Structure 1
Amino acid sequence: MDPELHETLERLHRRIEEQRLGSTHLLNPATLARTTALPQATVEALLRGETPEPEHLDQQIRFRVKARTRTNLAADAQTLTHLANQVHRHLGITRRRARSILNGERTPEYDALPRLAEILRTEGGAEFFTAPPAQVLNRALLAELDQSKTPATIEDVMRQHGVLHTDLRLHGTMEPDQFAQFIGRIVESLNPPTGEKQ
């Protein structure tokens, strides 16, 4: 297993335990496959600590371009024709070639990858298409680690502190970080520092 990915997975598992987060949410292979534009089987193998079969670089690029295209089309509700027109204009290639690149049928020129990365709004530029799978997954998991530092909802804060129920009529307008401070102070007041009389 890639050492950096192994370390990130260990950190993520510790964070899941500390914050009582659901591992199925943060380590969902289908979600990670969409985010990384990796085949789901590759993501599953990497999460198990296995090294997936290497792909030829051209095949890898075609797959990731196609996967990223599908993700963008679903998120933006734009058409393949519209996206192909953007690629046609910015890369100076025919619309037909642009469409076949977006469909994963043809490999784009390597010098066009940085511009294609901008059009498809990928993080990491051309490396998004060319980096080894372990590196791509590691980058996505590091982003998950950054996001999981701050609770997304009040329910996440409650779960983190083991609070089962609360009356949110007075506190329902708090932001998650404000609620985390509030709960943290309550827990702190119930657990005085060692050596103090209770």
Structure 2
Amino acid sequence: MTDLQERLVAYSLAETLRRLRAHIGEQELNPEELADETALPVTVVRALLNGDDPGTTTVEERVCSRIKNLSDAHLHKYGKREGDLVAEVHTRLGISDVWARKLLRGEKVPNVTLLHGIADFFEVDGGEAFFTAPPAEALNRVLQLRLNRYETPEVDPVQVLMERYGVVGSDLRLHGAALTNEQLEALLAGVIKSVMPTIQQQGDAPR
């Protein structure tokens, strides 16, 4: 993730928190509950809620940590022994019990196929991204779900069209054409003007 992307993610989380707190008032967000929902360490959740930097982690570290946290939470919730969970994962994913145990303990990094299987096994939202997303992005995803209880998400038809044809902000940045809001507005205005004569001609055509 680039520095720009990190700043955008941090800004998005801060904005979600601002809007959510405007709805819930003095009610505090529970770091322990959010840690359970995101499989993030409680210390990381607290830091993010306070607007602090939780530190840098690699994708591999995030994956291993969140698998272990999910495994521990699963054992606690269902009162299982580690051997029982290992046997279930071993059978479900078709891997050895030794490999399953190392995965669940966060000692080994799974490949993409195994990570997909683990996501299905624990029934997490977001699939593989649940394990790989940076902490701020992972927390923001969960908070957005809570925010949607208070706000009805608005569908931006322009954004839908841009995504449909692959013209999204991240794509423009990757191609070195970072557009300001004014430039994007001018671009869209030009597109609209170019199609208006066609629409008018269709409306004036004899029936």
Instruction: Find the counterpart in structure 2 of residue 121 from structure 1.
Output: 123
Structure 1 Cα separation of the partners of residues 150 and 99 of structure 2: 41
Structure 2 Cα separation of the partners of residues 53 and 22 of structure 1: 27
Structure 1 Cα separation of the partners of residues 147 and 61 of structure 2: 30
Alignment counterpart, residue 22 of structure 1, candidates 23, 27, 48 = 27
Aligned-residue offset at 1:38: 0.8
Instruction: Find the counterpart in structure 2 of residue 183 from structure 1.
Output: none
Alignment counterpart, residue 62 of structure 2, candidates 60, 63, 73 = 60
Structure 1 Cα separation of the partners of residues 146 and 79 of structure 2: 25
Instruction: Find the counterpart in structure 1 of residue 44 from structure 2.
Output: 42
Give a deviation string over 1:22-59, Cα, whole Å, max 9, x none. 21xxx121221122111122111111112321112211
AA aligned to 1:22 is: Q
Instruction: Find the counterpart in structure 2 of residue 141 from structure 1.
Output: 143
Alignment counterpart, residue 72 of structure 1, candidates 74, 79, 102 = 74
| 1:75-154 aligned within 5 A | 75-147=77-149
The answer to whether structure 1 residue 7 and structure 2 residue 15 are counterparts is yes
Task: Give yes or no for contact 1:46–1:134 (8 Å, CA) kept in 2.
Answer: yes
Q: Tell me the percent identity.
A: 37
| 1:173-188 aligned within 5 A | none
AA aligned to 1:54 is: T
Give a deviation string over 1:165-186, Cα, whole Å, max 9, x none. xxxxxxxxxxxxxxxxxxxxxx
Give a deviation string over 1:142-161, Cα, whole Å, max 9, x none. 22224567xxxxxxxxxxxx
Which structure 1 residue ranges, 4+ long, deviate > 4 Å from structure 2?
A: none
Structure 2 Cα separation of the partners of residues 22 and 148 of structure 1: 14
AA aligned to 2:62 is: Q
Unpaired segments ≥5 residues, structure 2: 1-6, 152-207
Give a deviation string over 1:71-114, Cα, whole Å, max 9, x none. 12222223322221222123221101101111112222232111
Report the CA distance shift for 1:148/1:81 in structure 2 as closer, same or farther (over 3 A): farther
Instruction: Find the counterpart in structure 1 of residue 193 from structure 2.
Output: none
AA aligned to 2:65 is: F
With the length of structure 1 as denominator, give the TM-score of the two structures: 0.66
Structure 1 Cα separation of the partners of residues 30 and 22 of structure 2: 16
Aligned-residue offset at 1:140: 1.2
Q: Secondary structure at the match of 2:130?
A: helix
Cα RMSD for the two superposed structures: 1.8
Task: Give yes or no for contact 1:86–1:119 (8 Å, CA) kept in 2.
Answer: no
